[in-house]
Structure 1
Amino acid sequence: MSTDQPHTAAPVTEALGARNRLLDAALLLFAEKGFAKTSIRDIAQAAHTNVASISYYFGDKVGLYRAVFADPRTNPPVPLEVLDTADMDLAQGLRSLLESFVMPLKQGQGIQQCYMKLCFREMLEPTGVWQHELETSIVPAHMAMARMLCRHLQLHDADVAVHRLVFAINSLGVMLHVGNDLYTRICPSLVDTPQALDAYLDSLVTYALALVDAEARRRTAAVQAVVTSTPLAP
């Protein structure tokens, strides 16, 4: 059995390398030129492979474009099953969510900047992929987070304040992707190594927990204010 291993492992590794080269090349070109102005020939040339490989791995240019958006290296999925676990520890749930913002940066700031540029370009020159991303990934993750917070706050349904809290927590992670120029200018050591990113993640979880605690205290104070202002029944 062991004698077969080299014959099977090498082709798999080679195929994964070719597929990733196509994804990387497509990300750079789509971000720079947009979907319409990027040809599959340009992508294949940049990836040092042939045009037929795009058909083999992705079907066509549309399939490749969608795969670039779904690439877990730059866009890791939020673990909805973790957030929806009834007995999930709040801190662990928040870490799972915020980690999805931090992990892609370990691929390199340049790659992630290209991905953000691609997202902005898609919003300005829509092909439908961003809408698909909203419906299948972003909105479900938001709602799963809202359900987790409702369980923690002992609420039956999410109200406006819960949704506001979800957006506030998400914004902690989003800033990592839209504020690269600020990090570089003010304090690049915050995000310049995997270790620094891990420390940043720990801090984000602490900040998120503080936001949740503040919302819990606000709600408690509001209930107490109603109780103390309500006259006793005769």
Structure 2
Amino acid sequence: MKSSLPARPPATGHEARKQRADGAEARAHLLLAALRLFAEKGFAKTSTREIAQAAGVNLAAISYYFGDKAGLYKAVFTEPLGKPCDDISRYQPAHLSLREALGGFISGFLQPLKQGELARQFTRLHFREMLEPTGLWAEQIDSNIKPAHAALVEVLCRHLGVTKADDDLQRLAFSITGLAMQMYVSHDVMQAVRPQLIASPKAIDLFADRMLDFAEAMVSVERVRRATLPPLKKNKP
């Protein structure tokens, strides 16, 4: 039987803004709750029902905002701290000096650490994905990590006068990345041994400045090493 009630008009003005705000808040609550649970229990052992309960939202909200559990997991894996390739514009432009480029790379890499517990949970989630792969980690390597690495290699080639990246230049790029990655891997150790090193955004910025000095020194050592090589070996693939 067809209802005789008039259709509800679309929300406008203040009501529409409130609905959008409520929706954004519900989605954000889901992301944060899911991040914590996925990091603690993994994808397979975490149910959508407990995520919804932890977020304080209706179970149907997961389907509405993310499609399904896999969609929510992918959003959790990629959204909260951004993607490596999002920072390429910080360090790839050709007009940047070596220090400016390395500074852009390192500061972008360490920026998420300023979010404290969120960054720690995100790191745990990545470790768990490596141990209990769903295929998402491999996808992220191809779509985000490889482009970011290639951009750093391009920067190093430009500043070292190398026309084609060889294995040693790749080693240099991975070593510079390793300096920044260690901040995530050793976060709990640093917290136990020397907590003031990462206690605040200002402390993380100071760490980034020192790390930039270390990275520049690594490039300088590689420049000197290459200058001593016979011409035919400088760019050997």
For this structure pair, what is the TM-score category when the shorter chain's length is used for normalisation?
0.7 to 0.9
Of residues 21, 25, 29, the one that matches 2:29 is 21
Q: How does 1:105-144 map to 2 (within 5 A)?
A: 105-108=113-116, 110-144=117-151
Contact 2:190–2:197 under 8 Å retained in 1 = yes
1:43 alignment counterpart: 51
For 1:95-110, what aligned pairs fall within 5 Å after superposition? 95-108=103-116, 110=117
Distance 1:21 1:75, change over 3 A: farther
Structure 2 residue 201 is matched with structure 1 residue 220: no
Whether contact under 8 Å (2:31, 2:75) holds in the other structure is: yes
Is the CA contact 2:35–2:76 (under 8 Å) kept in the aligned structure 1? yes
2:103 maps to a residue whose letter is: R
3-state SS of 1:157 partner: coil
Cα contact 2:197–2:204 (8 A) shared by 1: yes
Q: 1:77 to 1:57 in 2, by over 3 A?
A: farther
C-alpha distance in 2, partners of 1:15/1:208? 43
Cα 1:10/1:76, change in 2 over 3 Å:
farther
Query: How far apart are residue 221 of structure 1 and its match?
Result: 2.3
- Give structure 2 stretches of 5+ with no counterpart: 1-11
* 1:1-234 alignment runs, 5 A limit: 6-7=14-15, 9-73=17-81, 75=83, 77-108=85-116, 110-223=117-230
Indicate how the Cα distance of structure 1 residues 123 and 187 shifts in structure 2: closer, same or farther if over 3 A, else same.
Answer: same
Three-state SS of the structure 2 residue aligned to 1:131 is helix
How far apart in 1 are the matches of 2:86 and 2:105?
Answer: 6
CA RMSD of aligned residues (A): 2.1
Change in CA separation of 1:14 and 1:73 when aligned onto 2, cut-off 3 Å: farther
Is the Cα contact below 8 Å between 2:81 and 2:119 reproduced in 1?
no
Give the unaligned 5+ runs of structure 1. Answer: 227-234
Checking the alignment, whether the CA contact within 8 Å between 1:83 and 1:93 is kept in structure 2 is yes
Q: How far apart, in 1, do the equivalents of 2:80 and 2:172 lie? A: 26
Identity %: 42
Structure 1 residues 181-221: Cα deviation after superposition (integer angstroms, max 9, x where no partner):
22122210000111111111111112111111111111112
- Report the CA distance shift for 1:145/1:76 in structure 2 as closer, same or farther (over 3 A): closer
| Aligned-partner Cα distance in 1 for 2:133–2:121 | 17
Number of the residue aligned with 1:230? none
Give the distance between the partners of 2:13 and 2:165, measured in 1 at CA. Answer: 52
Separation in structure 1 between the aligned mates of residue 174 and residue 70 of structure 2, nearest angstrom = 31
Aligned-pair CA distance for 1:180? 1.6
CA-to-partner distance for each residue in 1:101-156, whole Å, 9 max, x for gaps?
31111111x32222122111111111110000100111111111101100111111
Partner of 1:232: none
Q: How many residues align?
A: 221
